[in-house]
Structure 1
Amino acid sequence: MTFPRHPRYSRPMACQRLKSWASALKLDIMALWIAARDSRTPLLAKLVAAGVAGFALSPVDLIPDFIPILGYLDDLIILPLGIALAIRLIPPPLMAQFRAEARRLSDRPQSRAAMAVILLLWLGSGLALSLCATLWIARRTH
């Protein structure tokens, strides 16, 4: 038996705002990545945009997330400040074009086959690395 949901107890507005902020942040990171590669972007803005996009898209954290409180500091403070600085350095009409391009790219269909190929490549690389390490250790012990 299901009970009807009361409108007051539906998804809180704060959660919707947080979700909207996160998607705008993702769009801005993509736009900065595009800006860093565009020849019309001023040099300083290009350097800052490349650094911020690289930092955001990097699998390696400046401060690992498992460190209490400090682990999320880079994600919650440093990254948004870097994004804000990069956006300020890029002329507004140009940033609008980069955001439109990022929106267009994010709306493209994603290929599950390409994802599978990439996962297989990572898995194969990991297996090859572990095999090499095993052979190296076996050779050193004999």
Structure 2
Amino acid sequence: MRRILTFLKLFRYDLLVMLVALKHRDTPKNVKGLLIAAILYLVSPIDLIPDAIPLAGVIDDAVIVPAAVMGLTNLLPSHVRYQAEAQAGKMLRYMPAILFTATLFVICWLGLVIYGIYRLIF
């Protein structure tokens, strides 16, 4: 279990590095395109192995996307990768506060939506 959690933490860091590098102007266009394709594959309902097949449908997403991100990280120019890693390190320090703020925002937004629906009905 510890190995899986370590892998997920590493993947989270690599994904954050790639998302920061996506905004960098020196990142090659093919790397940007392949990263966007990998993210779209993750959210797309069309998969190599359909999600309706128990366990196997989820495993293909869990293998293909991290492998693509790790491979694309190696294709980044060294100065882009260095800058993206530095920026991602700074962002990870503030990640709990960012997640708390985002969660609070979503809860408030849902509360307003529910209140609006309530006011329309009654």
TM-score between both structures, scaled by the size of structure 1: 0.61
Q: Which runs of 4+ in 1 moved over 6 A?
A: 126-129
Question: Looking at both structures, which has the greater relative contact order when contacts are Cα pairs under 8 Å and sequence separation is at least 6?
Answer: 2
Change (3 A) 1:31 1:113: closer
Deviations 1:20-47 (CA, angstroms, capped at 9, x unpaired):
2211100111111111111110111111
> What's the RMSD between the two structures over aligned residues?
3.4
Look up the SS of the partner of 2:54 in the other structure: coil
TM-score between both structures, scaled by the size of structure 2: 0.69
Query: Retained in 2: the 8 A contact 1:32–1:53?
Result: no
Question: Based on CA coordinates, which of the two structures has the bigger radius of gyration?
Answer: 1
Change (3 A) 1:113 1:32: closer
Query: Retained in 1: the 8 A contact 2:17–2:85?
Result: yes
Look up the SS of the partner of 1:110 in the other structure: helix
Residue 105 of structure 2 aligns with which residue?
Answer: 117
Name the amino acid aligned to 2:97. Answer: Q
Q: Among the aligned pairs, what percent are the same residue?
A: 19
Q: How many residues align?
A: 117
Listed as ranges, the gaps of 5+ residues in structure 1 are 1-14, 135-142
Deviations 1:92-132 (CA, angstroms, capped at 9, x unpaired):
34223212211210111515354212223245457768x99
Query: Retained in 2: the 8 A contact 1:32–1:50?
Result: no
Asked if residue 104 in structure 1 is aligned to residue 90 in structure 2, the reply is yes
Name the amino acid aligned to 1:94. Answer: V
